[in-house]
Amino acid sequence: MKKNLILLSALLAVSAFTKAQTADEIINKNITAMGGMDKLNSIKTIYEEDSLNAGAMKIPVKLWQVANKSQRVEFSVGGMTGFQILRSDSGWNFAPFQGQTKPEPATADEVKKSKEQLYITDAFVNYKEKGYKVTYEGKDETEGSEAFKLKVTISDSISETYYIDPDTYYVIQVKSKVTSNGKVIEGTETRSDYKKTADGYVFPMEDNNSGMGELKTYLIKVNSPIDDKIFSPSVRVAGK
């Protein structure tokens, strides 16, 4: 009888803990694992140097980003440098290795659907201020282990599902779904090798994207000055 009561108490405790895992509690633990809200909100700019392994090719990649304002991704293939630029009101693409001779402007719809990329932090950070909806969808298996599952509804046509490790509270996978012109585009991003920088910021240093390949980060600079001119399509080869 006594053992049964102990087992019943343990089961009730586990049940209570499971029910207590609300979306906000999981998000708060993730934010703590990533350095805390103050630390995340203090990120104003990021500069990155990465390597993209796309099949047999290794493509050098550089990224410049000003939080909520602008982003430039630059990549070199066969001695030619291309880029993608996104601003809050416009964007450009330039891929000379695909025969482009000049940057092409992004459409208004492409800019609108890409604006979420201008946030340096994940979609669920400050999600209420962004106007997003987050729901906790229990646990699901991903990458060989169980993870908390949070669905973020960004708009009627864009949603992201985050899988969060219950031990570390790091994001280990993100599945995105975008509906554009009646077509549904899905993507999966797997994150790993989280490391803390000397100034206390935490980043995943490996990112495997189903639509691109495996991205490895070798250098990250936080809050270093970035000249706004770098987000102009007239700048072809940018420095650090």
Select the more confidently predicted residue: 95 or 57: 95
Task: For residues 29 and 168, give the distance between their C-alpha atoms in angstroms, rounded to a whole number.
Answer: 9
pLDDT tens digits along 20-68: 468 999 999 999 999 999 999 999 999 999 999 877 788 999 999 999 9
Q: Give the pLDDT mean for 147-168.
A: 94
How far lies 222's CA from each of 40, 48, 85, 217, in Å? 11, 9, 19, 14
pLDDT tens digits along 132-151: 999 999 999 887 789 999 99
Beta bridge partners of 96: none
Q: Please report, for the chain, the start and end positions of each structural domain, with discontinuous segments joined by +.
A: 23-231
pLDDT tens digits along 71-80: 999 998 888 8
Select the more confidently predicted residue: 236 or 201: 201
With cut-offs at 50, 70 and 90, classify the pLDDT of residue 183: confident
CATH number of 23-231: 2.50.20.10
pLDDT at 146: 92
Task: For residues 131 and 176, give the distance between their C-alpha atoms in angstroms, rounded to a whole number.
Answer: 18
Rounded to two decimals, the pTM is: 0.83
Q: How many C-alpha atoms does 168 have within 13 Å on its Cβ side?
A: 15
pLDDT at 70: 96
Supply the mean pLDDT for the chain: 87
Provide the 8-state DSSP code for 225: -
Q: Is 42 exposed, middle or buried (0-12, 13-18, 19+ CB in 10 A)?
A: middle
CB-CB contact of 77 with 57 (8 Å): yes
Select the more confidently predicted residue: 88 or 11: 88
For the beta carbon of residue 183, count every other beta carbon within 10 angstroms.
7
For the cut 80, the answer to whether the pLDDT of residue 189 exceeds it is yes
